[in-house]
């Protein structure tokens, strides 16, 4: 009986240690005896470069919230790239990249700090906006549409090729792509067809194909799109969303034209669902690819924004995620990386106490 009780205790201890409130509390991985030679055998500590494509969410726009009492303060137009859920590298930040860095201290590519917004939307993408010393391999652009992914790759590929301390040809890489919110917000007035799910899928597929052709040793982490419209239900008539002295203006009222009417929101929702289906189909098409150096994983992102506390939104505009939301998204993605596709959650609701999975030496980044 004593042996049985000890076995139960040991099992309970191991099970409890599977997740932790902080990645620093997780056990270290036993070093590999030999390097991974195929994308199908990658542990998280095999990744040496992290990169991202996307829009203002991935760029970290407004994540730290209001920086002054008036709307004219330029600091309120900052991208807080160092806390971006996908690739931020600021000290103390909880991001997918910092979770990875806990297991691979030599990880390169993380974006740092904050700077004035970089704008790119459709054909309006002024040159020379990127700030390589801070953006590093975060190619996301505020205002970015799926049609702008090629513009972002025009920056990312050379930046990755010349990254100090990195080896473009041999390092294993993870590139996260999350885009579609701005496309959703234009979908109700689409007279050209460029915001349809089919068009979105074509833009996304072209980006994946270019990565496959030009970037060696890479996993593309495709995130499904989520419904933006519930943001307006959560934030409606909240004093938190009217932070600027002398005005009751809610900035999000001018950021998404399709969210002004119930009909527009319905179109947005259907469009978002279509975008997610397109991303998943791209994953399915690549799932059985016979390649030792390239793979696509799919992270469903059916995020139930309506479950978010108001503090999960930036109080600058009550549209973009705040730091705590970036942290929650990062943990959510991290926890899915080690699950087979059939075990990944189909929907995510807010959990302010979400813990992080502690990978073992036997865990691999799951491709199927």
Q: Is the pLDDT confidence value at 71 over 70?
A: no
Distance CA 363, CA 41 (A): 9
The whole-model pTM stands at: 0.93
Q: What is the mean pLDDT of residues 176-181?
A: 98
* pLDDT at residue number 301: 86
How wide is the angle at C-alpha 304 spanned by C-alphas 303 and 309, nearest 5°? Answer: 115
Cβ(56)–Cβ(320) below 8 Å: yes
Q: Is the pLDDT confidence value at 11 over 50?
A: no
Distance CA 196, CA 183 (A): 9
| Domains of the chain listed by start with CATH number | 2-357 (3.40.50.1110)
Give per-residue pLDDT as tens, 200-221. Answer: 999 999 999 999 999 999 999 9
Higher pLDDT, 239 or 49: 49
Q: Is the pLDDT confidence value at 12 over 80?
A: no
Q: What is the mean pLDDT of residues 140-157?
A: 98
Give per-residue pLDDT as tens, 24-39. Answer: 999 999 999 999 999 9
Give per-residue pLDDT as tens, 233-278. Answer: 999 888 898 876 555 566 777 789 899 999 999 999 999 999 999 9
- Residue in 211, 181, 187 with CA at minimum distance from that of residue 199: 187
* Rounded CA Rg of the chain: 20
pLDDT over 90, % of the chain:
84
Mean confidence (pLDDT) of the chain: 92
DSSP strands (E only) in 179-323: 218-223, 294-299
Q: Is the pLDDT confidence value at 157 over 80?
A: yes
Cβ(324)–Cβ(311) below 8 Å: yes
* pLDDT at residue number 246: 53
């Amino acid at each position: 009986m004593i042996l049985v009780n000890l076995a139960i205790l040991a099992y309970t201890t191991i099970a409890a240690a599977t997740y932790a409130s902080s990645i620093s509390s997780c056990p270290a991985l036993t070093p590999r005896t030999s390097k991974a030679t195929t994308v199908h055998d990658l542990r998280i500590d095999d990744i040496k470069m992290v990169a991202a494509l996307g829009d203002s969410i991935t760029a970290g726009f407004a994540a730290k919230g209001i920086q002054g009492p008036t709307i004219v303060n330029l600091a309120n137009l900052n991208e807080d790239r160092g806390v971006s859920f996908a690739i931020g590298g600021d000290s103390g930040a909880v991001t997918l990249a910092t979770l990875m860095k806990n297991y691979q201290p030599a990880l390169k590519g993380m974006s740092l700090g904050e700077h004035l917004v970089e704008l790119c939307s459709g054909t309006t993408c002024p040159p020379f906006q990127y700030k390589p010393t801070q953006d590093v391999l975060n190619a996301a652009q505020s205002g970015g549409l799926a049609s702008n992914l090629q513009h972002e790759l025009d920056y990312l590929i050379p930046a990755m090729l010349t990254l100090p301390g990195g080896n473009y040809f041999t390092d294993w890489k993870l590139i996260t792509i999350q885009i579609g919110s701005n496309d959703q917000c234009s979908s109700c007035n689409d007279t050209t067809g460029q915001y349809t799910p089919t068009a979105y899928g074509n833009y996304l597929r072209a980006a994946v194909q270019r990565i496959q052709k030009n970037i060696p040793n890479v996993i593309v982490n495709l995130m499904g799109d989520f419904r933006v419209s519930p943001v307006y239900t959560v934030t409606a008539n909240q004093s938190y969303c009217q932070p600027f002295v002398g005005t009751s203006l809610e900035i999000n009222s001018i950021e998404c034209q399709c969210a002004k009417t119930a009909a527009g929101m319905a179109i947005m929702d259907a469009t978002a669902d279509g975008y997610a289906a397109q991303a998943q189909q791209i994953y399915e098409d690549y799932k059985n690819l016979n390649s030792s150096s390239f793979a696509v994983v799919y992270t469903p992102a059916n995020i139930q924004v309506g479950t978010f506390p108001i503090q999960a939104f930036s109080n600058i505009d009550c549209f973009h995620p705040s730091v705590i939301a970036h942290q929650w998204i990062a943990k959510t993605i991290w926890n899915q990386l080690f699950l087979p596709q059939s075990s990944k959650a189909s929907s995510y609701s807010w959990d302010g106490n979400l813990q992080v999975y502690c990978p073992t030496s036997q865990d691999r980044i799951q491709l199927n």
